[in-house]
Amino acid sequence: MYDASSGRLNLLIADSNQMQRQLVVRALRSRTDFQVNVCDLNLESLLAAAEAPIDVALLNSGDDLALLRSFHLAFPEVAKVVFLNSVDSESVVNAFRAGAKGLFCFANSSLQLLCKCIQSVHEGQVWASNQCVGYLVDAVSQISTLRVVNTNGATLLTPREEQVVALVADGLGNRAIAAQLGLSEHTIKKYLFRIFDKLGVSSRVELVLYAVNSGATRKAEWIPA
pLDDT per residue, tens digit, the chain (225 aa), is 545 445 789 999 998 888 888 989 999 999 999 999 999 999 999 999 999 999 999 998 766 788 998 999 999 999 999 998 888 888 888 888 888 999 998 877 788 899 999 999 999 999 988 888 888 777 655 556 666 666 666 777 888 888 888 888 888 889 989 988 888 999 999 999 999 998 888 888 888 777 766 655 555 443 444
Residue 86 identity? S
Torsion of CA 132, 36, 59, 18, to 10 degrees: 110
pTM assigned to the model: 0.62
Q: Which domains does the chain have, with CATH numbers?
A: 9-138 (3.40.50.2300), 142-219 (1.10.10.10)
Count Cα atoms within 13 angstroms, Cβ side, for 124: 0
Name every residue whose Cβ is closer than 8 Å to that of residue 168 and which is 6 or more positions away in sequence.
177, 192, 204, 207, 208, 211
Cα Rg, the chain, nearest whole Å: 21
